[in-house]
Structure 1
Amino acid sequence: MKALEVARYFITLNKEQCLDELIDLSKLKLQKLLYYAQGYYTAMFNKPLFEENIEAWEHGPVVREIYDALKHIEGIYIPTNTYAMSDSEISLLYKDAKELIEDVFSVMGQYSAWKLRERTHNESPWENNYEKGQNKLIPLEDIKSYFKPYVNVQN
């Protein structure tokens, strides 16, 4: 799966949640949701949700490909109507991936972008890999190890 598919599904979930009043998702918050989705999925299924790497940037974990895909958008918010998935695209998502993304959105989506940023700054994957002025790779193993105690996997 590609990180852009995961990102677009988060944008779609945000759109569905905010039907009465369109509230676009911020780029910063989306990056943190991607990090949490990757963390929980990797810890639960022993494989990454998406193939792109996550890096430790000043404001927390970032998927560079998503940053690059959205940096042309003026302001901090992603236009929902441009990036939301169609029903046919959603139907192509794997069930376990779809459910985990929904769970992460349900739990972590309630927090502001800055609250999620603050949280990630207190978690070892970012803390152990961040170096001021550099965008260093956060090894997937660091992410998996951090999230493993938070998931209950039944085999």
Structure 2
Amino acid sequence: MASVIDAAKYILEKTGEITSMKLQKLAYYSQAWALVWDEDEIFPEDFEAWANGPVNKCLYAKHRGMFKVDSSLFREGDTSALNDAHKETIDKVLEFYGDKTAQWLSNLTHKEAPWLEARGELQPMASCSDIISKASMAEYYSSL
């Protein structure tokens, strides 16, 4: 199975340099829509409901302290680990969300049930490491 690092490298090979926050959101939406369209996860790693939207800790560990990232940061990533269906899903996500800003994507996640439910009653900028479940992602995005 592919990892979030493999997916991130694929995303960055397609987009070129982007902000680390935008990478997080594109990886999140790629996973969300794969759960709906492919009925399968792209990678096993989870997202947490951080203040600025969904964040994958494994990705964060790679880009911590960096504003912009490109595929060279993910040299160990293996895009061949992604199957054709997952590449197609990521491509569709990039087609739809790819021209949006990181802030726009973050704001969108703040209006959606998976992030809202994982955060519960927390204040908007409160720290949170609660997992956004894949089940909540699949349920919410399949209803759109």
Q: Same fold (TM over 0.5)?
A: yes
- TM-score, structure 1 as length reference: 0.81
Q: Does residue 141 of structure 1 match 2:131?
A: no
CA RMSD in angstroms comes to: 1.9
Which residue number corresponds to residue 95 of structure 1? 84
Q: Quick one: which of 14, 36, 46 aligns to 1:53?
A: 46
Structure 1: runs of 5+ lacking an equivalent: 16-23, 151-155
Distance 1:141 1:29 in 2: 23
Give CA deviations for 1:28-77 in whole Å, capped at 9, x if unaligned: 00010011011100112222111001110000001111001221xx5410
Choose 1 or 2 for highest CA Rg.
1
Q: What count of residue pairs does the alignment treat as equivalent?
A: 137
Distance 1:33 1:55 in 2: 14
Give CA deviations for 1:71-125 in whole Å, capped at 9, x if unaligned: 1xx54101x252477xxx5455311011111111111011000000000000000
- Contact 1:11–1:84 (CA under 8 A) maintained in structure 2: no
- Contact 1:11–1:83 (CA under 8 A) maintained in structure 2: no
Letter in 1 for 2:56: V
Aligned residues with identical type, % of pairs: 26
Which residue number corresponds to residue 14 of structure 2? 13
- Contact 1:9–1:84 (CA under 8 A) maintained in structure 2: no
- TM-score, structure 2 as length reference: 0.87
